Structure 1
Amino acid sequence: MGKIKIGFVGVGGMGQMAHLSNYAVLREECEVVALAEVRPKLAQTVANRYGVPQVFANHEDLLNGAQVDAIVAPQPYRAHYAIIPDILRAGIPVFTEKPLSLTVEKGEQLVRLAEEHRVLHMVGYHKRSDPAMEYARKRIEEWKASGEYGKLQYIRVTMPPGDWIGGADAPLQSDDPYPHSSMESGPEYFSEEQTRELDSFVNYYIHQVNAIRFLLHEPYRITFGDRCGVLLTGESDSGVTVALEMAPYQTTIEWHESLLVCFEKGFVRVDLPPPLARQQAGKVTIMKDNGREPSSYEYPIMPNRSAMRQQAMNFIAAVQGIRPVPCESKEALEDLKIARDYIRLMQQYK
């Protein structure tokens, strides 16, 4: 497959800043041929700005009226259940934002549909596509295979609240009223308060829950959560300890997100930029001290390419059959199970 034709379902703030602006410049790899947006003025404004020839009022009209090879549907995750099944049943590869859904049950339905129709469903954990994360994962796997720096022992992810926009330009807007949309309900076994807590957790920290598994390259389970909601710890299938520091402090004009992967005789650290920072990759620090050679630090240089741009490239390559996607819906379902278990664990303090 050569250059692919892409349709967009939803071109609001994140749809523009994180996704459409990146696909629109990948002219050798793809062409954005259609968009669906329920706000008509915004739809036409965005189509004019990005040169999108076909505009539709909703995803059903796009499915019926446009010829596309793949769809990017950056909807709020609680709206996935009302839109994504139609795309999967149409057999069109689709990209959605994180998380897969709010609940494990709706997530299971989406996974089942993707499998039944044998269609690709990529979930947008963009941190997996950051060049620094890709580089770190490769080095971690090399160390695990060689044993030169001992066993993998500990992974810590820290993400205090901060300036996640990182100076990105504001999206195009209109005076269309914001549309009412049906939103996924919480699980039947959770109270309204627990559903609010679940919604907040998956909105803010599901990226980090997923990133831990990406660097571990194996499943893990929760073992502890502090009553203040600052620290979550767990253990992998092979016995590696993991920790997620959610909000030990906050910043107002910076972004402090880091991932530390510790072996017995060294570590790999990644410091990530704000999620919407333009064409800026993370930074990697590697410390080695195997006792046989002089200890050292490495600071490999990453390309000037953001995780969002690389994520778009990864989705296109997956649709073309060039390489697997960073995270399919089946794996993304595991994040929802972690989130569910965390909320259940926190209930003990109520």
Structure 2
Amino acid sequence: MEKINIGYIGCGFMAQKVHIPNFSSIPECEIIGLAEVRTELGEKVQKRFGIPHLYKDHIELAQNTDIEAVAVSADFALQGEIAKDLLLAGKHVFMEKPMAVSVEQAQVIVDASQKSGKKLMVGYMKRYDAGNEIVKEKLTQFRKTDELGRLTYARNHAFGGDWVCNLDTPMDGTDEPKPSAPQKFPDWLPEEYWGKYIGYLQQYTHNVNLMRWFLDAGDNVSIKAVDLNENGYTGVVIFDMNGTRVTLETGHVSHYRWDEHSQIYFQHGWIHTWAPPLLLKNTPAEVEIYRAGEEQEITRPIPRPSWTWAYHREAEYFIKNLRNPEPFRSSAADTLTDVRLFEEIYRIFVDQQESGKK
């Protein structure tokens, strides 16, 4: 495979701690350009990773015709605007979630991908976790063979905890101020809800996206009920995903690890998976398969290789699949559904809150 030259936009926490080190470790690609508006910080990161070219912004980087693809991590609304510009400049794009903060912004990004013929992949690393890939494989098998009976219910519980886990990857810093970012939100959303909305969206878009993938739901998803506390974060949302009732349980706990798990129920058993702390390297999700009925058996399948990191696997997937014509597993078009669902959740939540004031 001919080596793929990529660029990177941004030198923030996720860039320095996760994405730049991961892409730098993949033999099939090389980071040849870095863009950072904070000049001193950009120079430090460029030097540490041996990146040949430093640019003042993504527009300047996009003019380098040797760069085939670009990875982006920036402020929530800003990174979507950067991704759109890069697509229209003829670059394939990998970007952090969320892809967009509104359906309107998301559709513009999808349109840019279709117009340019360039692919965009959203960093939903849970879809690339080796343990979750086992869950997906077994779910597909059990629904085809009917060996555990009918699929009856699914739930995702996510209260979080310590997601960094003392990750000791070096990180450069300077006194330069963080660049300003555009304030883009759905037109209908009152300003007093902006902070709550982005906090809920950026945290739980991973979970909704994962459950849709597990259940092959695509865009066949609707909101059945929303019951969130006044903070717009803690509570329960009920979905219909491709005919299956799915609950999302959200909140916060000061846990020393990471409190997140998914469980998919059949008539005669379940598949249960526990997510590792997000930045705990080389630790995939744990998987339990329970066969009820006559067997009454619990098994714990182990991925091969056993010790991998979802964040590294998503970077490898991006490079491996960049040049083929198939859409990415977490494509722009698929991600549009997640953005739609979060707008719908918050429409219901805001209506509930405003009605309660009357």
| Normalised TM-score (structure 1) | 0.94
State the match for 1:105 in structure 2. Answer: 104
Amino acid at match of 1:258: H
Alpha-carbon distance, 1:90 to partner = 1.5
- Unaligned stretches of 5+ in structure 1? none
Alpha-carbon distance, 1:193 to partner = 2.1
Amino acid at match of 1:223: K
State the match for 2:263 in structure 1. Answer: 260
For residue 243 of structure 1, the aligned residue among 244, 247, 251 is 247
Find the aligned partners of 1:64 and 1:79 in 2 and give their Cα distance: 20
SS in 1 for 2:348: helix
State the match for 1:44 in structure 2. Answer: 43
State the match for 1:195 in structure 2. Answer: 194
State the match for 2:163 in structure 1. Answer: 164
Amino acid at match of 2:224: T
Task: State how 1:56-75 maps to structure 2 within 5 Å.
Answer: 56-65=55-64, 67-75=66-74
Equivalent residues of 1:225, 1:231 under 8 A apart: yes
State the match for 1:336 in structure 2. Answer: 339
Deviations 1:148-187 (A, max 9, x none): 1111111111110310112212542222412333324222
Structure 1 stretches of at least 4 aligned residues deviating more than 4 Å after TM superposition: none
Amino acid at match of 2:259: H
Amino acid at match of 1:232: V
Amino acid at match of 1:230: G
SS in 2 for 1:226: strand
Alpha-carbon distance, 1:24 to partner = 1.1
SS in 2 for 1:145: helix
SS in 2 for 1:8: strand
Task: State how 1:1-350 maps to structure 2 within 5 Å.
Answer: 1-27=1-27, 29-65=28-64, 67-169=66-168, 171-218=170-217, 219-228=220-229, 229-238=234-243, 240-247=244-251, 250-291=253-294, 294-302=295-303, 303-321=306-324, 324-350=327-353
Amino acid at match of 1:301: I
Amino acid at match of 1:267: W
Deviations 1:66-106 (A, max 9, x none): 51121111122210243222201112110111111111111
Find the aligned partners of 1:184 and 1:108 in 2 and give their Cα distance: 18
Find the aligned partners of 2:137 and 2:120 in 1 and give their Cα distance: 24
Q: 1:267 to 1:140 in 2, by over 3 A?
A: same
- Unaligned stretches of 5+ in structure 2? 354-358
SS in 1 for 2:63: helix
| Normalised TM-score (structure 2) | 0.92
SS in 2 for 1:80: helix
Find the aligned partners of 2:103 and 2:196 in 1 and give their Cα distance: 15
Equivalent residues of 1:79, 1:181 under 8 A apart: no
Deviations 1:258-314 (A, max 9, x none): 1111111111111111111112111111111243xx221111123211100100011
Deviations 1:120-159 (A, max 9, x none): 0101111111101111101100111111111111111111
Equivalent residues of 1:288, 1:296 under 8 A apart: yes
Find the aligned partners of 1:102 and 1:158 in 2 and give their Cα distance: 23
State the match for 2:356 in structure 1. Answer: none
Find the aligned partners of 1:252 and 1:139 in 2 and give their Cα distance: 30
Alpha-carbon distance, 1:343 to partner = 0.7
Equivalent residues of 2:258, 2:277 under 8 A apart: yes
Equivalent residues of 1:156, 1:261 under 8 A apart: yes
Find the aligned partners of 1:98 and 1:321 in 2 and give their Cα distance: 23
